[in-house]
Chain A
Amino acid sequence: MFEKSDQQLISKALNGNKRAWLNLIKRYESQVYNYGIRMTGTREDALDLMQEVFISVFRNLSNFRGEGCFRGWLFKIAHYRCIEFYRRKKPHQALDDSPEIESGEPCMETSMVSSQNANQLVNAMQQLPLSQKAVIELKFFGQFTFEEIAEQLGISANTAKSRMYSALSKLKILLEVEYA
């Protein structure tokens, strides 16, 4: 059976085909949900974020020109929704600030399925500023190129690279602390 392309599903969804839209959601909901878990640190917030992302994606679907890949465009919207989520939750914290550590216990919500190393990485990511965490997320979990990351975050590729470099330095320290 031939699988329909994203563009075909988008065209059908824009013409009112609900089934096409649901297929599109099914194709990406896991990626967006896990993106939400890694970016917010909790499943509840990840679920809320995922719903907001798909609602926003549908509202803006007619603006998708098909010039780049849909996945990149989807994660660009996800990033903006994530920023809004952070601003709602912590309105006085800048995106480049390191988050306040609310408890000494790491977030273990992902430990049920993933390996311990992956959990440690995700937990360490929660202590990065959002701007650096987004680069780590998109590079290592999203497998995007720096050009794509730069386009999605609205920054230059060099900025994305330097943020990655800074994030790796912090992650190294955080993971060393966890290993210790």
Chain B
Amino acid sequence: MPNLNQSELLAAWMEGDLSPQQQQQFESLCIEDDDFSKQVEMANRASLFAQDYQSQAAPNWNQEASFDYQASQKWWQWQGFSVFSSALSIVAIVLVFSGFEASVEGGKMTFGFRDSGQRLEQKVARQLDEFKAQQNAALNDYVASLREQQLDASTQLTQYLLASSRQERKEDFGELIKFINEQRNDDQLFYARQLNQLQNAIYDNPTGKP
């Protein structure tokens, strides 16, 4: 065993744990070293004094107050349940708003989000709306074009009718004027002839008697 320093040697002596070599070292130190021997003496005295110590009875105190027992919680009283239920609620809300769907088809359960089908439907609806708008626009153009064509045709017909009736009236007036002129000529000829006859009559009967 290695040599111990004084504190270790004293401690080993106090615990009755000295080997023969250490016992020899201890005894020689007690003889040679006055301070060490006084330390041993003090340890001995302290040990004896401590044995003389009469323990005092503890006064009355509220011993039950130290019994701060809290019964272990049952599994259904687990504090994490509130958090767990809140988390489940949040998950459920997220699933509802995200359109999560579980469907069973042909013995297979599939999970998915309604979002994709909905988007497709929205796309188709949007395209149909666009197509409808295009068709409406094309129809409106066609109607407008047709109306324009009809208007043109009507205008042309009216102009034609106006033009043709004007010609006819013109011709009719010409005919009338011609007729009137002819009638006048005939009248003039008649009156001329009458006048001639009158003249002749006058000149043929100078007495003045017809």
Seen from chain A, the residues whose Cβ lies within 8 Å of a Cβ on chain B are 13, 16, 18, 21-22, 25, 29-34, 37, 43, 47, 50-51, 54-55, 57-59, 110, 113-115, 117-118, 120-122, 136, 139-141, 145-146, 158, 160-162, 164-165, 168-169, 171-172, 175
Contact = CB atoms under 8 A, between A and B. Distances in A.
A158 to B, nearest CB: 7
A133 B21 CA distance: 31
A120 B53 CA distance: 10
Contacts of B53: 34, 110, 114-115, 118, 121-122, 141
B59 interface: yes
Interface string B1-44: 00000111011001100000000000000000000001100110
A155 B209 CA distance: 190
B63 A165 contact: no
Given A25-B63, A59-B68, A34 B56 contact: yes
B64 A121 contact: no
A113 B7 CA distance: 33
A157 to B, nearest CB: 8
A171 B48 CA distance: 14
Given A168-B43, A175-B45, A31 B10 contact: no
Contacts of B109: none
A118 B50 contact: yes
Interface of chain B, helix or strand or loop or mixed?
Answer: helix
A172 B42 contact: yes
A32 B50 CA distance: 15
A100 B94 CA distance: 68
A151 to B, nearest CB: 15
B77 interface: no
A117 B8 contact: no
A78 to B, nearest CB: 13
Nearest to B7: A165
Interface in B39-71: 39, 42-43, 45-50, 52-59, 61-69, 71
Contacts of B69: 13, 16, 18, 21, 58
B58 A30 contact: yes
A146 B56 CA distance: 26
Nearest to A170: B42
A16 B67 CA distance: 9
The winner among A22, A54, A118 for most chain B CB atoms within 10 A is A118
B9 to A, nearest CB: 9
B58 A29 contact: yes
Nearest to A113: B54
B7 A161 contact: yes
Given A16-B69, A47-B61, A172-B39, A34 B55 contact: yes
Contacts of A57: 66
Given A30-B58, A161-B11, A172-B39, A141 B50 contact: yes
B49 A16 contact: no
A83 B46 CA distance: 23
A127 to B, nearest CB: 14
